Amino acid sequence: MEYASSFKKLIEELKKLPGIGPKSAQRMAFYFLEAPKSQTDLLAEVINQAKDSLKNCSNCFNMADNDPCEICSDQSRDKSLFCVVEEPKDLMAIERTKGFFGLYHVLGGAISPIDGLGPSDLKIKELLKRIDAGVKEVVLAMNPTAQGEATVLYLTKLLTKYDNLKITRIAYGLPIGSDLDYADEATLVKSFEGRREVNV
């Protein structure tokens, strides 16, 4: 015997979700069967609500309730300092540190020829337009991947054309709390490349 047809259909749909394999899908399907209808209806509702109400900020392309977003409309932020990230979730990771007080620019991904993503698919033109308006420093905060690296190279080439614009990128190296002995070679190499003089 196989699972009942409507149950199999549910498992198939759940398997489409990111990071969900056959076992997790089965577990989730049993969970939905046992959950009260009010809860599954609520889930469907919040999905639709999020899809309907969320917009992209027309300045920085962050995902937000309002346009312009909370960050772009915050007058206390330093408008001469820009941080460029790949995705809204990277922006959120930096915001959680409560250590950056400039503005952001969300590219919407990274250059990845294998996925058919070229520079024209990213919000690069929009970034250049914003920089024209008097930005002093652009921090490139791409992920430490081949795609992130390609994006940094491409952006650096474009941005060096601007006079008086400082281009920086975040440091890659040993994560805090880790152990030299357990670090992979690529991280250690980055960590040596990024070494800084100690000022006593």
Interface ranges with a second copy (CB under 8 A): 1-7, 9-10, 13-14, 16-19, 24, 26-33, 37, 39-40, 42-44, 46-51, 53-54, 63-65, 69-71, 87-89, 92, 95
CB nearer a second copy, residue 10 or residue 111: 10
Q: Which is nearer to a second copy, 51 or 195 (CB)?
A: 51
Q: Cβ of residue 58: shortest distance to a second copy, in angstroms?
A: 15
Place of tokens 């027309």: 58
The distance between the two most distant Cα atoms of the chain, rounded to a whole number of Å, is 74
Taking the least distance from each CB to a second copy, the nearer of 1 and 114 is 1
Residue 37 or 195: which CB sits closer to a second copy? 37
46-51, long-range: CB < 8 A, 24+ apart: none
- Min dist CB 90 to a second copy, Å, is 12
| Minimum distance of a second copy from residue 1's CB (angstroms) | 5
Nearer to a second copy, 81 or 128 (CB): 81
Q: Where are the beta strands (DSSP E) in 51-98?
A: 55-56, 63-64, 78-85
Q: What is the DSSP string of 132-197?
A: HTT--EEEE---SSHHHHHHHHHHHHHHTTSTT-EEEE---SPPTT--GGG--HHHHHHHHHT--P
Cα dist. 188→146, 160, 179 in Å? 17, 28, 11
CB of 51 to a second copy, least distance (A): 6
Instruction: For the beta carbon of residue 147, count every other beta carbon within 10 angstroms.
Output: 18
State the minimum distance, in angstroms, from the CB of residue 4 to a second copy: 4
